Amino acid sequence: MFGGLAPWVPTLFLITLAAKFWMEPRGYRLRSVLFKVVLAAVTLGAIFFSYGSVKGIEPGVSLIVVLMSLKILEAHTAREFQVMVIFGWVLCLCGFFLSQDLAVALCLLVAFSLFLVALIQFHRGSSPGAFWPPLHLGGKFLGQALPLVVLLFLLFPRLTTGFRFQIMQPSSATAGFSDRLSPGSIASLANSSEVAFRAEFPDGRIPGPAAMYWRGVVLSRGEGFEWRASESPASIYRATTPFSGDEGIRQWITIEPHGARWMFALDWPSAPPPGASLAPGNYLWSYEPIRKPRRYEVKSSPAISDKELSPRERKMLLEVPAWLSPAVRDLAQSWGSSSSDPRAVVNRALQFFRSGGFQYSLSPGPYKERDLDEFLFHRRLGFCEYYARSFATLMRLAGIPARVVVGYLGGEYNEFGRFFLIRQADTHAWCEVWLPEGGWQRVDPTSVVAPERVNLGLDSFLARRGVSNRASNTFAMNVAQQPIFTKLRLAWDSINYVWDTRVLSFDAEAQRSFVAEIGMSDANPFSLFMRTLMMAVGLLAIYGGWMRLRTRPRADRVKALYGRFCRKAARLGAERQPWEGPLDFSRRAADLVPDQSRRIRDISNTYIALRYSPEPTPSILDTFAREVNAFSLATRGRAR
């Protein structure tokens, strides 16, 4: 939450708070103006030194936090308290500049509510101990404000983006993998539980876990142990033809910002979503770096669409670095010469990995930069990226065009939100080889070495092998593995997902479609604003009316019914004097209207019982209403 702020800023806040609690009972106060000025100047200087500037979001928020901290030290009067509460609310708003996560939002909501409660408590007087009433009242206030909040959220005109505003520059540009696969780059991600993206399958067609290869970026420039993507995919000649047919698997993917341009889809995306292109190698390439969460629909087909390989591409896909050792070249060429069928070559290579004593390990120890021999012939310890890289290199040496694909494998299914959550830890690298008869084929050498890695997902795989280095505390790990916590985590993830997709990404466009959906298609911002205003006023009017209705005296219905009875009796010629009691009136009216005397007496007695008796049973009220209505019928019958 305080990620962007210099650590001393929240610390200063806590210190001043503690200092205030220490000072106040002892009667100490900050009186010296000079001291205050010096303090303010020092902290301002500290902000400037921390950020190098006083402009920008973090310095701005830090400034408010620091000034608020100093105000805490100084504040003494009621007015200052109220100013501080208002400042606190502003600070709550500032929290959203730093992050718009659900967790942060909930924290800020709690803080906001507590400010409200503090204000209420302050106005209730200084009686200590009574904590619940102001809390209750504050909750009531917030509950009453809720419909208005929802209305404004839905209808208040958005100027540009949704609530997700990206004011901070992404700090270190990229999260997740890079377009360069160098030794160890994926291992560092294996410990990251950060969310990469979430995927939904709206049609309900979900591929099996072993087939859930999320394509990220294709690395077709191989240099032995280091692979790179093409410089810029758009600059390469496009051989892609749009896939036709709708057998594909539809996915809705909500991607977390990672600062690069790749987008994810299952193997193999058939058409790019808006704002992206399908790069050669069949991966999605966004026109803009992804700096804010983005939701898109993409369709993937189980068969790749480009079946042709131009000579130029073929040449590029067969390039190998010159420094490869003869042993490696010999190994590959021995496969290539033994069979002319590329499929057989691939199988032999896989056989080599399967039976060669290779082992899966996320910490294989350091390899030298170009030491492919060490990996292939001696140590034989590594994880997906090692296998993918060496496999692709060997394939190229054997004369088969090959490339490395980096993306994600598997994902965690969230049964509450019905979506897959793919974390950075699910990063995976695999190979694709070009076969003359079938075009590109996916080959995952890791699956040969450690089949469970593919079938189970990394987490379970590591847990089964007991080599997890993620949590040093196994007890905590065990607790975290309990079904209840898993469920809680899944539920939290799904709420987060809803927050991201429904609340934060409700931008101008989503609002427009929503407004059109509820039948106000011609809404320009001004008319939308006016309508919102009208609805808000209407809502308040309804609310006010409801309050009046609720606080009206309870006896009203009895009184109103009796009034009706009296009007009816007056029509029959027996008018009740205002000062006349019900008993007197019943006697007089019974005398005046003898043929109705029995009814009049009954109604009056019921009224007396309802209005004056110690414990009127509520059911009498219905009897009374029926009697009064029946009196009306009797009146009409008499009139006829």
Partner 1 sequence: MLDVTRQPSPFSTWFANGIDPADRFGVKDRLDAFTRQVCEIIVGKTEAVKLAVACLLARGHLLIEDIPGVGKTTLSQALARSLALGFQRIQFTSDLLPADILGNSIFDRDEQRFVFHCGPLFSQVVLIDEVNRATAKTQSALLEAMEEYHVSSDGVTYDLPQPFFVIATQNPQHQVGTFPLPESQLDRFLMRIELGVPDRASERAMLLGMDRRDMLKELKPVFSIETLLEIQQNVRKTHTSPALLDYLQDLLDASRQRHSTGLSPRAGLALLHASQAWALLSGRDMVLPEDIQAVGVAVMSHRLGHDIEQPGQSGRTLADALLRSVPVP
Applying CB under 8 A, which residues contact partner 1? 555, 559, 577-584, 587, 601-602, 605-606, 608-609, 611-614, 617, 619-620, 623
Locate 404 and state its tokens: 């490395």
CB-nearer residue toward partner 1: 212 or 569: 569
Instruction: Report in angstroms the alpha-carbon separations of 217 from 243, 285, 404.
Output: 19, 8, 9
Q: Residue 148 Cβ, how far from partner 1 at the closest point, in Å?
A: 36
Q: Residue 631 Cβ, how far from partner 1 at the closest point, in Å?
A: 15
| R_g of the chain, CA atoms, integer Å | 37
Q: Are 198 and 420 a contacting pair, CB within 8 Å? A: yes
CB-nearer residue toward partner 1: 371 or 602: 602
Residue 269: strand, helix, or coil: strand
CB-nearer residue toward partner 1: 211 or 620: 620
CB-nearer residue toward partner 1: 220 or 606: 606
Q: Are 452 and 461 a contacting pair, CB within 8 Å? A: yes
* 153 Cα distance to chain centroid: 16
DSSP for residue 374: I
d(CA 497, CA 487): 15
CB-nearer residue toward partner 1: 60 or 616: 616
Residue 184, by phi and psi: left (phi above 0), alpha (psi -120 to 50) or beta?
left
Q: Residue 605 Cβ, how far from partner 1 at the closest point, in Å?
A: 5
d(CA 464, CA 456): 10
Which residues, other chains included, contact 108 with Cβ-Cβ below 8 Å and sequence gap of 6+? 92, 95, 96
Angle, CA of 298, 499 and 299, to the nearest 5°: 5
Angle, CA of 634, 637 and 640, to the nearest 5°: 150
Q: Residue 572 Cβ, how far from partner 1 at the closest point, in Å?
A: 20
Q: Residue 576 Cβ, how far from partner 1 at the closest point, in Å?
A: 9
Q: Residue 125 Cβ, how far from partner 1 at the closest point, in Å?
A: 30
CB-nearer residue toward partner 1: 551 or 619: 619
Q: Residue 554 Cβ, how far from partner 1 at the closest point, in Å?
A: 9
Instruction: Report in angstroms the alpha-carbon separations of 212 from 208, 280, 284, 454, 463.
Output: 6, 21, 16, 9, 20
Helices (H), 205-277: none
Cα dihedral 524, 526, 532, 538, rounded to 10, equals -120
DSSP string, 590-610: HHHSGGGHHHHHHHHHHHHHH
DSSP for residue 41: H
CB-nearer residue toward partner 1: 77 or 619: 619
Q: Residue 599 Cβ, how far from partner 1 at the closest point, in Å?
A: 12
Q: Residue 620 Cβ, how far from partner 1 at the closest point, in Å?
A: 6
CB-nearer residue toward partner 1: 357 or 614: 614
CB-nearer residue toward partner 1: 443 or 610: 610
d(CA 200, CA 135): 40
Q: Are 485 and 479 a contacting pair, CB within 8 Å? A: yes
Residue 429: strand, helix, or coil: strand
CB-nearer residue toward partner 1: 105 or 603: 603
Q: Residue 511 Cβ, how far from partner 1 at the closest point, in Å?
A: 52
Q: Residue 588 Cβ, how far from partner 1 at the closest point, in Å?
A: 9
Strand 427-435 to strand 213-223: parallel, antiparallel, or no bridges (unpaired)? unpaired
CB-nearer residue toward partner 1: 237 or 579: 579
